[in-house]
């Protein structure tokens, strides 16, 4: 699979897993669900780390002192954009590691605000989610009101 194709895939595809099929009567955050999300988070973290490493090598390989100021400015802008993207990815890696710690502490999958189950489908869409959809919606409304 090409890198560009892999980058465009969703989190589940990156991890090589299918959407979780809950069994009748299965308890929320059962060992099977925990293993499912651990695999997703670890694969996502590994993919992001590879991207960061690739950027470092790319910047080292491409770093050149162009005599033309336009070429130099273009390269600096490209590097600046790449560094911003990698910084965002580094923050995401930290959030993934925090989520993996929550799994180890058996505190994963529950809303940090109200304590209800976040839900398997929401967690598959955003494995680092720490708020249920209702609390997240309220937080976004409050944020918009504070800005406006």
Q: What is the DSSP letter of 65?
A: -
33 and 104 fall within a common domain? yes
44 and 94 assigned to the same domain: yes
42 annotated to a ligand binding site: no
pLDDT tens by residue, 98-117: 999 999 999 999 999 999 99
Same domain membership, residue 95 and residue 66: yes
Measured CA to CA, the distance from residue 38 to residue 44 in angstroms comes to 10
Same domain (yes/no): 36, 101: yes
Residue with the two structure tokens 């560009």: 4
**Both tokens assigned to 84:** 């911003």
Q: What is the pTM of this model?
A: 0.81
Is there a single domain that holds both residue 87 and residue 119? Answer: no
User: Is 114 flagged in the annotation as binding?
Assistant: yes
User: What letter would DSSP give residue 98?
Assistant: H
93 annotated as a binding-site residue = no
Question: Which range marks the domain in which residue 141 is found?
Answer: 109-148
pLDDT (0 to 100) of residue 75 = 82
Q: What is the pLDDT of residues 21-44, one digit of tens each?
A: 999 999 999 999 999 999 999 999
> Structural domain tally of the chain?
2
Are both 50 and 76 inside the same structural domain?
yes
């Amino acid at each position: 699979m090409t890198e560009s194709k892999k980058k465009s895939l969703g989190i589940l595809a990156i991890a090589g897993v299918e959407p979780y099929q809950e069994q009748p009567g299965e308890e929320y955050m059962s060992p099977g669900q925990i293993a499912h999300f651990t695999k997703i988070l670890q694969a996502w973290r590994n993919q992001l780390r590879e991207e960061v490493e690739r950027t470092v090598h790319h910047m080292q390989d491409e770093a050149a002192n162009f005599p033309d100021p336009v070429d130099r400015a273009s390269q600096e802008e490209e590097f600046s954009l790449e560094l911003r993207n990698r910084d965002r990815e580094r923050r995401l890696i930290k959030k993934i590691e925090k989520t993996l710690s929550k799994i180890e502490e058996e505190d994963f999958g529950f809303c940090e605000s109200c304590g209800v189950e976040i839900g398997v489908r929401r967690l598959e869409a955003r494995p680092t989610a720490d708020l249920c959809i209702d609390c997240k919606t309220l937080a976004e409304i409050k944020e918009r009101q504070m800005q406006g």
